[in-house]
Each structure stands twice: as structure tokens, then as C-alpha cells.
């Protein structure tokens, strides 16, 4: 069994590594897919495993985006002059500056949101249910409005991230960002998978199923909730930093703190794939992205209507997500022991 799994993981890894060369025209879509999967997987830590429906993860994504770009510029040039649109000076990063800046930027983009998550989490993770959801919804909206007023990061003008330097061929930019996002995805997957195999996940599940009972059993739920959120924030920030460089232009509410799109999509993807599972968000994000791209090509002008229909279909036919549906259909493949008599009895009851 272990060997089988290993083969599967290896083949996916190899596929991921050669994908940009097999589908050179799709590098950007593939990079975005990686980012979407990261977002869905990290959302699932709260929404799926812990039962805390967070709409605020977009805060870390946007924060990471602004931080990465600011560090990348600020390390070599005065940030204020870069973002000021009327500036007559043109700043150009050398390749070394660009990559160095981007690397440091990504590190900052991951660490700072995690710290922020710890601080915010300490104050709001005491809220439960709808109250937590509404509170986190406010976080993203507020961040968008506030960042839209900070002059040094471009305010309403937006922030143009450093253009990719004259390095390598035409394809270099796409390949660079693809591998950044793919490597981050692999990293996220490994971390999430390994924490799902520890007691940590069981604690999160206990919080989801009955927080009071978990506390009564002596678990410091607050500590676990905060750590869980910090892990999410770390990878959300990383994904945001990469996305900022990929898009090349950061707008406070449309690109960075894009709660209306990314913020909702990450929830949708996790639910579509099946929340509370390891693979659910991965599948959900892939299916969602492919359908979205398809609708966008074939139903121009109606893509959101088509997307809406898709969501309705999912809610009606796959209320537990794709993974949930598979699990119900083939429970034995998920390691569940099914007693035939019991199953029949259940069917008869229905």
C-alpha cells in the first residue's frame, strides 16, 4: 500500500514538474491553479477540520501580496517614489536584485501574516459559529479599505510590482512563477498532510464536533485554534506574494484583498471538493478552475450564470462535496468497514 501511494505521489510530482513544458501555453493558468489549491487547502484547516468558517483568510493573502512587493522594491529603491505615479524616474531591477528581493519578500510575506494571525486569532477566535464568520468577513473588507488609503503602497492608484527582469527567454517569467507556486503547493501539501496525521488534527476535529467537550477533556482549544490559523496564514501569505508577482499589478480591493472573488472561491473550492478531507480541496480547486476557465471561453458574458448553475448542481447533488460523494459511494476505498446487513437495513429505512 505504501508503495502504491508513493508511486501516485511521485507521478503527480513528476507531472507537476514537466507540466509547464508539456503545456507551455497554460503556465499562468497552472500557476493560478497551484495558488487556488493552496488557498483551498489552508481554508480547509479552519473551515473543514476545525469547523470555523473563516472569510478572513483573504486578509493574509493580500497582506502577503503587498509585503512581498514592498520588500522587493524597498530593498533597492525608495518605495514611495516607486509607487508615486507622477514620478519621472524609472527604476529597473537587475536580475540579481529581482530574485533576491523576491526571495526575501516571500519569506516576509509568509512570516508576517502568520504573526498577524496569531495576534488577531488571540482576540477573535473566542467567537463561535456565525459570529466568527461575520467578524472575519469584516477583516478582509476593512483591510481592503485601509490599504486603499495608504500612500506608500500606492493607495487607490495600485502598486505595480517590479517587472520581470531581462533574464532568460520569453518563457522565463512564466516558468519562474509556475515553479514558485508549484513548490509552495508541494510544501503546503506536505505540511498539511503531516499535521493531519498527528494528534493535532484530532484536536481540531474535536473542536469542530464539540468544543465544550474538548475543553472539558483538558484540551487548550484556544492554543490549537490559534496555531491552526497561523499555519493557514503562513501559506496564504506565501500564495499572495507569488500571485502579486504573477499578476504584476496590485489593487487594494480587486487583487489583494479580493474577498468577493478569491475570498469566496477558497470557501467554494473546499466545499466543492469536500471539506474536512485532505484531497477534497485539491480536487475542488482543480475542478472549479477548469470549469471556470471553460465557462469563460465558451459562455462569454454568461460565465457567472454558468458558474452559479454549477454551484447549484453541486449543492443539490453533491452536498458533501466530491470527496464526500465518493466516500458515500465507495466507503470501503476510504478504509471504512461496512457491514452489509447494516447497509441494507439503512437502505430499507430510507
Partner 1 sequence: MKIKNIIITFFSAIALLLSTSVVSFAKVVGDKIVLGAAVSLTGKYSSNGVHTQNGYNMAVDRINSMGGIKVGGKTYKFEIIYYDDESNPKRAAQLAERLISQDGVEFMLGPYSSGLTKAMAPVTEKYGVPMVEANGASRSLFTKGYKYLFAVLAPANLYLDVAIRTAVELNGGKGVKIAQAFEQDAFSQDVRLGILDAAKDTGSEIIIDDKLPKELNDMAATLVKVKQMKPDVLVVSGHTKGALTAIRQISEMKVDVPMLAMTHCDAAKLSKQHGKNSQYALCASQWHKTLTYKDKWFKDGMTYDADFTKMFGYAPPYQAAESSAALLVFKDAFERANSFDQKKVRDALAATDMQTFYGNIKFAPGGQNVSKPMVLFQVMCDSSGKCENKVVAPLKWASAKLIHPIPKWSER
Per CB under 8 A, residues contacting partner 1 are 1, 4-5, 8, 12, 15, 23-29, 32, 85-90, 92, 145, 148-149, 155-158, 160, 163-164, 170, 173-174, 243, 246-249, 251-255, 258, 261, 279, 282-283, 286-287, 290, 293-294, 296-297, 300-301, 303-304, 322-323, 326, 330, 333, 335
For residues 311 and 325, give the distance between their C-alpha atoms in angstroms, rounded to a whole number.
15
Taking Cα atoms as reference points, which of 213, 288, 315 lies closest to residue 35? Answer: 288
Dihedral (CA of 328, 332, 334, 336) sign: positive
Closer CB to partner 1, 215 or 254, in the complex = 254
Closer CB to partner 1, 74 or 118, in the complex = 74
CB of 152 to partner 1, least distance (A): 14
For residues 19 and 179, give the distance between their C-alpha atoms in angstroms, rounded to a whole number.
10
Cβ neighbours around 195 below 10 Å, total: 17
Coil, strand, or helix at residue 162?
Answer: coil
Grid cell, residue 230, equals 497561523
Q: Are 27 and 178 in contact (CB under 8 A)?
A: yes
Taking Cα atoms as reference points, which of 263, 266, 239 lies closest to residue 144? Answer: 263
Taking Cα atoms as reference points, which of 174, 153, 178 lies closest to residue 256? Answer: 153
For residues 13 and 59, give the distance between their C-alpha atoms in angstroms, rounded to a whole number.
30
CB of 102 to partner 1, least distance (A): 15
Taking Cα atoms as reference points, which of 138, 142, 165, 159 lies closest to residue 255? Answer: 159
Closer CB to partner 1, 147 or 221, in the complex = 147
Closer CB to partner 1, 228 or 259, in the complex = 259
Closer CB to partner 1, 86 or 218, in the complex = 86
Exposure on the CB side of residue 129, measured as CA atoms within 13 A: 4
Closer CB to partner 1, 87 or 129, in the complex = 87
CB of 182 to partner 1, least distance (A): 14
CB of 50 to partner 1, least distance (A): 22
CB of 86 to partner 1, least distance (A): 6
CB of 259 to partner 1, least distance (A): 12
Closer CB to partner 1, 90 or 123, in the complex = 90
What is each CA distance from 25 to 7, 103, 185, 192, in whole angstroms?
28, 26, 20, 30
CB of 128 to partner 1, least distance (A): 30
CB of 84 to partner 1, least distance (A): 8
Closer CB to partner 1, 124 or 326, in the complex = 326
Q: How far apart are the first and last CA of the chain?
A: 35
Coil, strand, or helix at residue 159?
Answer: strand
CB of 266 to partner 1, least distance (A): 14
Q: Which residues pair with 159 in a beta bridge?
A: 250
Closer CB to partner 1, 5 or 197, in the complex = 5
Helices 264-273 and 303-317, axial angle in degrees (round to 10): 40
Amino acid at each position: 500500500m505504501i508503495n502504491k501511494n508513493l508511486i501516485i505521489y511521485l507521478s503527480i510530482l513528476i507531472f507537476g514538474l514537466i507540466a509547464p513544458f508539456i503545456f507551455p501555453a497554460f503556465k499562468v493558468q497552472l500557476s493560478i491553479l497551484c495558488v487556488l489549491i493552496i488557498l483551498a487547502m489552508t481554508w480547509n484547516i479552519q473551515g473543514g477540520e476545525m469547523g470555523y468558517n473563516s472569510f478572513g483568510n483573504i486578509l493574509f493573502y493580500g497582506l502577503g501580496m503587498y509585503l512581498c512587493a514592498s520588500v522587493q522594491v524597498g530593498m533597492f529603491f525608495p518605495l514611495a517614489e516607486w509607487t508615486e505615479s507622477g514620478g519621472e524616474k524609472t527604476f529597473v531591477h537587475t536580475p540579481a536584485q529581482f530574485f533576491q528581493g523576491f526571495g526575501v519578500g516571500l519569506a516576509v510575506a509568509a512570516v508576517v501574516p502568520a504573526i498577524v494571525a496569531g495576534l488577531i486569532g488571540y482576540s477573535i477566535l473566542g467567537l463561535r459559529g456565525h459570529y466568527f464568520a461575520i467578524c472575519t468577513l469584516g477583516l478582509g473588507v476593512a483591510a481592503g479599505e485601509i490599504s486603499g488609503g495608504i500612500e506608500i503602497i500606492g493607495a487607490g492608484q495600485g502598486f505595480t510590482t517590479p517587472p520581470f527582469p531581462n533574464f532568460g527567454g520569453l518563457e522565463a517569467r512564466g516558468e519562474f512563477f509556475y515553479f514558485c507556486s508549484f513548490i509552495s503547493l508541494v510544501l503546503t501539501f506536505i505540511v498539511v498532510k503531516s499535521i493531519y496525521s498527528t494528534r493535532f488534527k484530532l484536536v481540531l476535529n474535536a473542536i469542530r464536533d464539540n468544543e465544550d467537550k474538548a475543553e472539558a477533556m483538558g484540551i487548550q482549544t484556544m492554543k490549537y485554534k490559534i496555531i491552526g490559523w497561523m499555519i493557514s496564514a503562513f501559506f496564504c501569505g506565501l500564495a499572495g506574494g507569488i500571485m502579486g508577482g504573477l499578476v504584476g499589478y496590485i489593487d487594494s480591493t480587486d487583487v489583494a484583498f479580493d474577498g468577493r472573488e478569491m475570498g469566496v472561491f477558497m470557501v467554494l473550492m473546499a466545499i466543492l471538493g469536500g471539506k474536512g478531507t485532505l484531497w477534497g480541496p485539491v480536487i475542488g480547486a482543480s475542478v472549479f478552475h477548469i470549469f471556470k476557465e471553460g465557462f469563460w471561453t465558451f459562455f462569454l458574458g454568461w460565465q457567472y450564470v454558468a458558474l452559479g448553475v454549477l454551484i447549484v448542481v453541486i449543492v443539490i447533488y453533491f452536498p458533501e462535496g466530491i470527496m464526500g460523494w465518493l466516500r458515500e459511494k465507495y466507503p470501503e476505498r476510504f478504509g471504512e468497514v461496512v457491514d452489509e446487513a447494516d447497509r441494507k437495513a439503512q437502505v430499507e429505512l430510507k
